[in-house]
Structure 1
Amino acid sequence: MSLFSKFKWVFSILLIFAIVLATNLVDKGNFDKLKYSIETIYKDRLVAKGLIFELSYLIQEKQIALLKSDSLFYQQQRLGVNDEIKELIAKFEKTELTIDEFEMFEDFRENVKEELELEKQFIDSGFENREQLLDQIYLLHDNLHELSKIQLSEGKRQMSMSQKTMDTIELFTQMEIIFLIVIAIIAQVIVLYKSSAKPNKLE
């Protein structure tokens, strides 16, 4: 085999290796994106949605107690409920927040502080003038509703990204299969060509 022929074979093998390596790197990148999207949907959307639900339940509990003028709630349960709300806020804070989500969450957190202050004033006043506190609780419900809408929107966006990544992976898989078939055909043609090119020793 001549030096030029050897060079062609080495170049062909290196080219095949480079193409296979490149497709593997692309596949790995796509799988990493898919993994990130799935983790994000769980950690930063489903978990956050659950926290919002729990916060809504606790805020509603406060609202019912206020509407019923439930003094027992304020004497025995209020501090425990407030501690739970603070704990849930701390957990929500650890999720990855979008810009809109962060701004709404900051509003909610500030409104919770205001609600706690109004609640204290309401108790100190002998459970008089509940309207301002009730308005503040309604505001908290609005904040949580907006946060819930953001979760839905972001969840849909992440699902769309996951679907696009899966489509890309499927496309590259099909391309790799076609590439391997083409390589196999080329290799077979080369082998058959070399066989037919060999001189017949009987002649």
Structure 2
Amino acid sequence: MAFYNKVKWVLGILMVFVLIVATNLIDRNNFLRVKDSVVTIYEDRLVVNDLIFEMSIAMQEKELAAIKADTVFFLSENNKINEDLQNFILKYEQTKLTAKEVKVFNEFKQNFEKVKVAERDFIASKFDNVKGLENELLKVKKNLYQLSKIQLIEGGRQMSISKKAIDTVELFTQLEIYILIFLAIVIQIIVIYQPKKE
């Protein structure tokens, strides 16, 4: 009967070890969530924030040139800036976008096309009618501002996901330590304990 009791204890301990393996798998899953979150913060938020910054600078150059009616800018530099902006848009499209971000980004692209039309109209008016171009540039700047705010919100959300995953890992690690200490004591008792023979 003593052998049977020891087998029960060993099976009980094996079940606890299986529990520990399961918690390790959960830890692994949480570490993957942290890793994905960090990658997302860099690739889909910081890189995009830099693209938004570059596009904002380009739009400010356009706005300044429009206010000054800078013919040299619109006849020589503007096409290059439009090409750069198109490249920034292509890079932006390769990142993961949230539903709200898709909506604002599509609006931005439509407004950017309207800016190009307004620029052609501005040039055709011999740099006289700037109001239409200024209005379209204002819409694009508003879109860029909204996209920038989305990056901040999403970056915060990803940080929150990382923090929750790290907190979960810490909790399970402490539980594992307590369980292992308990198991070590139980194993010692099972191995050392010798029942009295009657």
Place the TM-score, normalised by the shorter chain, in its bin. over 0.9
Q: Is 1:184 aligned to 2:190, yes or no?
A: no
Aligned to 2:46: 46
Aligned to 1:92: 92
Aligned to 1:109: 109
TM-score (norm 1): 0.91
| Count of aligned pairs | 197
Q: Which amino acid aligns with 1:126?
A: K
Q: Which amino acid aligns with 1:172?
A: F
Q: CA deviation at 1:4?
A: 2.9
Aligned to 1:32: 32
List aligned pairs for 1:16-165, cutoff 5 A: 16-165=16-165
Highest CA radius of gyration, 1 or 2? 1
Q: CA deviation at 1:36?
A: 0.9
Q: CA deviation at 1:2?
A: 6.7
Q: CA deviation at 1:13?
A: 4.8
Q: CA deviation at 1:17?
A: 3.3
Q: Which amino acid aligns with 1:129?
A: N
Deviations 1:123-152 (A, max 9, x none): 122112110101110111111001111111
**Distance (whole Å) between structure 2 residues aligned to residue 171 and residue 17 of structure 1:** 17
Q: Could you tell me whether the CA contact under 8 Å between 2:48 and 2:92 is conserved in 1?
A: yes
**Distance (whole Å) between structure 1 residues aligned to residue 143 and residue 16 of structure 2:** 57
| Percentage of pairs with the same residue | 45
Q: Which amino acid aligns with 1:142?
A: K
Q: CA deviation at 1:68?
A: 0.9
Q: Show structure 2 runs of 5+ residues with no match.
A: none
Deviates more, 1:13-22 or 1:25-34: 13-22
Distance change in 2, residues 1:150/1:161 (3 Å):
same
What SS does structure 2 have at the residue aligned with 1:126? coil
Q: Could you tell me whether the CA contact under 8 Å between 2:101 and 2:147 is conserved in 1?
A: yes
Q: Show structure 1 runs of 5+ residues with no match.
A: none
